Amino acid sequence: MNNLSTILKYSPFQFNKIKKERFFKNFQKKLTNYHFDKCNKYSKILNLLKYKKSIKYKTFELPFLPVGLFKSHNLVSSPKNDIVRTMTSSGTSGNKTSRIYLDKENSAMQIKVLTKITNNYIGHKRLPLLIIDSKNTAKNNKIFSARSAAIHGFSIFGSNITYALNVDMSLNIKEIDKFYEKYKNTNCLIFGFTSILWKYFYQSLLKTKKKYNFKNGIILHGGGWKKMHDEKVNNNDFKKSLKKNIGVKDVFNYYGMVEQTGSIFIECKEGFLHCSIFSDIIIRDKKFMRCKFNEYGLIQLLSLLPTSYPGHNILSDDVGKIIGEDDCNCGRLGKYFIVKGRVKDSEIRGCSDV
Ligand SMILES: [Zn+2]
């Protein structure tokens, strides 16, 4: 399969458009052919799309799967016995969730790439970590929810891990105070799912009238804005409120999908999400044509990581736009973009019927 070790030695944001395209297209093509050979259901779909292994496709011409397919079908490319972990998307109540099957190799690569990307934002040193969740969520299971997978993934960046919430999701003030007394003046990391951080940490703290001032603290959060939009909280409000009441110096939002764990997109100080050398995005309009920069459309996500399941090229139901490429003021190369929200089920039914 793809030998990512050739690019793992580089910084995840050091290639410009031309340099990136040179290897990205080939890696994507190899992945497509690999899954075509290994996953029966995938090859059936590609045959319907008249995909031919011998044709030289451009990256944007390669076939993509609508994310809904991972909810309705079990798509696997590795032998059953090699699967060591199943991940499920969080899925709002009543909705079906995706099931993603990981073998050892795929799982290990996710951690490697997640580390490379995250280190680029928060530095290479392990930081004291306050997790805004309960220990129960993080329990090690063979089946992982997106939330527990994220906690596990990001725990590798932490030392002295402290859980801020009790099993019933109430604040564990005693533990938080202990953590605060120790690390209020040093660098530390606070991690949580966006909606959990807001509801069970920030809002609960407001009720207690307690304030903290983690002067050198960094908040890293992700997991989607759907619940936040329902509460009419946007990214800016979120940042401002947390900075004011918890006193951290930086708040980083990350975007990613359970189908492409590892190759996440983290927001820079300019407020834009960045593609790394392990990922790319394309924006599509209703007819699936490519949008220009600054035009909103559906976000198609490409990742070089999925090897045990055909999740390397997916059309999400998230709406966003690309702002530019290689010229963000933060200095990172690659495409940078924003996510606006999600389209309703009915609007994308056409494409889920593939
Ligand atoms: Zn940037």
pLDDT, residue 3, reads 75
**Alpha carbon of 354 to those of 12, 38, 45, 72, 351: distances in Å?**
33, 20, 8, 12, 6
Centroid of ligand 1 to alpha carbon of 242 (angstroms)? 21
Cβ atoms of residues 191 and 132 within 8 Å: yes
User: Token match 């994308």: residue?
Assistant: 348
- The per-residue pLDDT for 25 is 94
Report the distance separating Cα 352 and Cα 354, nearest Å.
Answer: 6
Determine the distance separating the centroid of ligand 1 and the alpha carbon of 275, expressed in angstroms.
Answer: 10
At 242, list the tokens.
């947390």
288, with CB counted inside 10 A (0-12, 13-18, 19+), is: middle
Q: How far is the CA of 26 from the centre of ligand 1 (A)?
A: 26
Q: Which residues contact 121 (CB under 8 A, 6 or more apart)?
A: 220, 252, 266, 268
Partners of 325 in the beta sheet? Answer: 335
CA of 276 to the centre of ligand 1 (A): 11
| 188-193 β-sheet, strand order | 158-165, 127-134, 188-193, 217-222, 250-255, 265-266
Tell me what the mean pLDDT of segment 5-34 comes to.
94
Positions of E strands within 96-235: 99-103, 127-134, 143-145, 158-165, 188-193, 217-222
Q: How far is the CA of 272 from the centre of ligand 1 (A)?
A: 5
Please give the distance, rounded to the nearest whole angstrom, from the Cα atom of residue 337 to the centre of ligand 1: 9
Average pLDDT over residues 65-71: 94
Report the separation in Å between the CA atom of 273 and the middle of ligand 1, taken as the mean of its atom positions: 7
| Distance, CA of 211 to CA of 248 (rounded, Å) | 11
Average pLDDT of the chain?
92
Is residue 92 scored above 60 in pLDDT? no
Distance, CA of 210 to CA of 182 (rounded, Å): 17
Q: What pLDDT, in 10s, does the model give residues 252-306?
A: 999 999 999 999 999 999 999 999 999 999 999 999 999 999 999 999 999 999 9
* Cα–Cα distance, 266 to 336 (Å, whole number): 10
Ligand 1 centroid, distance to 331 Cα (angstroms):
6
DSSP-derived secondary structure letter, 292? P
Cα-to-centroid distance, 231 and ligand 1 (Å): 27
Q: How far is the CA of 330 from the centre of ligand 1 (A)?
A: 4
Asked if the model's pLDDT at residue 102 lies above 70, the reply is yes
144 pLDDT higher than 70: yes
pTM: 0.92
What is the SS3 assignment for 92? Answer: coil
